[in-house]
Structure 1
């Protein structure tokens, strides 16, 4: 994984509260580039299908905030191949001529350069190059951002065997910890979530323990004063160990204990591996449901479902549509057993044996003319009509009179 991309997308999100959904999607496809499909992206980024479709642009275009490039958007279809065709990539400014920052902003080229840059005493020059950042965030917020980018520049692999991988796993936007839930917590969510804004702040902080004021949080996240206060209140309610209020002179600041709670070296370590396993288990169940829905969206899958014991109206359907007496014995046995998958495989085998449907009737006509075994059509010689089919002239005249009389009645 290229850690420079993580640093870049975090820096470009400073002071922009509207790009959080795009940031979550960009983070997901950067840390897990193999994920595709609308539902897959929604599942692994912790949001709904509709939110994903609203955030991404059309094919070969860049999203509103410039963080996501849509390779293919996909279509709404019953066919799983078409529905799962969405592919997204992070739109990095290091590989495009359309930059979102001034020319004096140092480009983020590779992890090694980022690591050296983060250790330099003059690291703030990186921030001064971004006019938006330098205009809004305070000196203390700049220090927090410098240390956060230093941490992000070390995150090159996803896993829980080493601390950098564990940090990256904990910053996964799809975890329950960062879920955006309004109202009562659903039963499938293991903990009280901190929310998407808290995840954004954790990313910018590098999951380090930080001390910030309300105005610092306003500048980092692009929130109003009320929004920053609500975020702190929500985080305190969800986990009182995460936020502590500290007096500093005549004002108050807030110590946010990211590392103490969510890193191995912390005093109140919360295992990211367990959280990831919970999400993986739900993802597996969700994928099984999606595969079943996709299968039942096909003709063979729908017939198999209607005739299987999985359908609650199976008996009613069979009563209205009984199996013909001359039906194949193998098919009759499958219907009586009611195994949906066995019925589906049998119908798919029949479809494969029959071959694709011809695009025009000319194929069938030519096949019948050649007398091939692929077509059941046979050529029969023309036959004269039987004498009983002839209609007498007297009957035709009587019928004509009735028609005329009906027209002028």
Structure 2
């Protein structure tokens, strides 16, 4: 996956999802994938393809992207897999356990990088050649791919597991924040471009020039310079300008700053305050959707100020003249939760809905039920209506018999 992204800035929208599907294949649903990949749920829906199709840049195969439904679980029933170009099958990651799409033999071969004729043969060498990256960038990429080939577990107690955890695109370190920064974020975010560069380097130290960064990430010169400036501002120890001959390069200390054995190690692996904040917002949205999926919740929404067409709805569905005063006051206030709680309380007071009409007939016994919203008794109970119908039929039969007797 990383080798295929060399020099392709346009694939940055699919890389986090592909990385999540490989390292955490158990993550599913639109909002779950958005949180663990550090993306927005709308961006996720725009990135993945239709059911059974491959994304535009070929990194993601969509098993299902959910259906239009009133149930939130069905709407967000999204499942994706990394689309590998090393095999014909669509799903390249196990549905239960983390494993590499190349298999153990492929990992070992990639780790060795097959030294041939005094140079390192990279996986997807055609991508490297087409990107036309320099020798210094090739060395950094080869070292990064060698490290990535050894990341086979997410165990944070091991060095390689900690590296894989640090490369999690959803942690605060790589976040793209729009608006106010969450209060408890102790690490200044470096951004998604920096995550791509760290992934290509395998979180190893590298010395790269602006031109090398341009070639590796597919950026313009101004974009590469802006990325270096942002990284230096976020962590002054991360980037240092060094002279190499008659030109300048930049020493990027990924390992020294973000690996446990580094001289300036910063524990950013478990910093996910941004993801937790987004998860809290998602829970509110899901609870609201679940509430509005009920009868009481939907009625409360229609009468509340949360409904953008509230005025239009009340104009076409005005409250009856004899509406309950408490209900009328709640509708005027427009508080959705208060309206919902009122209706739920009335439902609890009325009791569960009987399974058959006979239960209603037996329980009514001539007592007219009350309308919970109008506060008035109904004009006629169900039992009285049944009795009236039976009485009319018997009177008609008696009249027929009397008429027959008079005729004889």
Q: TM-score, normalised by structure 1?
A: 0.70
CA RMSD of aligned residues (A): 4.2
> Partners in 2 of 1:119 and 1:33 — Cα distance?
26
Once the two structures are TM-superposed, the CA of residue 130 in structure 1 deviates from its matched residue by 3.0
Checking the alignment, whether the CA contact within 8 Å between 1:111 and 1:153 is kept in structure 2 is no
Is 1:40–2:32 an aligned residue pair? Answer: yes
> Partners in 1 of 2:322 and 2:24 — Cα distance?
50
> Partners in 1 of 2:22 and 2:347 — Cα distance?
38
Is 1:26–2:18 an aligned residue pair? Answer: yes
Identify if the C-alpha distance between structure 1 residues 28 and 350 changes in structure 2 by more than 3 Å, giving closer, same or farther: farther
Question: 2:106 pairs with 104, 113, 121, which one?
Answer: 113
Once the two structures are TM-superposed, the CA of residue 51 in structure 1 deviates from its matched residue by 1.0
Checking the alignment, whether the CA contact within 8 Å between 1:79 and 1:297 is kept in structure 2 is no
Q: Which runs of 5+ in 1 are unaligned?
A: 1-8, 99-106, 312-316, 325-334, 356-366, 387-409
> Partners in 2 of 1:68 and 1:218 — Cα distance?
25
1:83-102 equivalences in 2 (<5 Å): 83-96=75-88
Deviations 1:10-46 (CA, angstroms, capped at 9, x unpaired): 1111111001110101111221112111111112111
Identify if the C-alpha distance between structure 1 residues 251 and 89 changes in structure 2 by more than 3 Å, giving closer, same or farther: same
Structure 1 match to 2:146: 150
1:277-356 equivalences in 2 (<5 Å): 278=273, 281-282=276-277, 284-300=279-295, 302=297, 321-322=323-324, 350=352, 354=355
Q: Secondary structure at the match of 1:36?
A: coil
Structure 2 match to 1:205: 201
> Partners in 2 of 1:341 and 1:208 — Cα distance?
60
1:4-403 equivalences in 2 (<5 Å): 9-96=1-88, 109-120=102-113, 122=115, 126-127=121-122, 130-135=125-130, 136-181=132-177, 185-187=181-183, 189-276=185-272, 278=273, 281-282=276-277, 284-300=279-295, 302=297, 321-322=323-324, 350=352, 354=355, 380-381=389-390, 383=392
Deviations 1:336-394 (CA, angstroms, capped at 9, x unpaired): 9x9699859959x946x649xxxxxxxxxxx99xx999x9995944838x9xxxxxxxx
Checking the alignment, whether the CA contact within 8 Å between 1:39 and 1:84 is kept in structure 2 is yes
Checking the alignment, whether the CA contact within 8 Å between 1:209 and 1:260 is kept in structure 2 is yes
Identify if the C-alpha distance between structure 1 residues 129 and 289 changes in structure 2 by more than 3 Å, giving closer, same or farther: closer
Deviations 1:151-186 (CA, angstroms, capped at 9, x unpaired): 111112224221111111111111111112356645
Q: Secondary structure at the match of 2:187?
A: coil
> How many pairs does the alignment contain?
338
> Partners in 2 of 1:382 and 1:248 — Cα distance?
108
Checking the alignment, whether the CA contact within 8 Å between 1:304 and 1:343 is kept in structure 2 is no
Identify if the C-alpha distance between structure 1 residues 346 and 292 changes in structure 2 by more than 3 Å, giving closer, same or farther: farther
Identify if the C-alpha distance between structure 1 residues 166 and 354 changes in structure 2 by more than 3 Å, giving closer, same or farther: farther
Identify if the C-alpha distance between structure 1 residues 59 and 129 changes in structure 2 by more than 3 Å, giving closer, same or farther: closer
Deviations 1:91-111 (CA, angstroms, capped at 9, x unpaired): 11222179xxxxxxxx97323
Once the two structures are TM-superposed, the CA of residue 322 in structure 1 deviates from its matched residue by 3.1
Structure 1 match to 2:94: none
Deviations 1:264-314 (CA, angstroms, capped at 9, x unpaired): 0111212134314x35643552343133112222124516978xxxx9xxx
Structure 2 match to 1:101: none
Once the two structures are TM-superposed, the CA of residue 113 in structure 1 deviates from its matched residue by 3.5
Q: TM-score, normalised by structure 2?
A: 0.70
Once the two structures are TM-superposed, the CA of residue 112 in structure 1 deviates from its matched residue by 3.8
Identify if the C-alpha distance between structure 1 residues 74 and 245 changes in structure 2 by more than 3 Å, giving closer, same or farther: same
Checking the alignment, whether the CA contact within 8 Å between 2:4 and 2:124 is kept in structure 1 is no
Q: Which runs of 5+ in 2 are unaligned?
A: 91-99, 307-318, 327-336, 364-381, 396-408
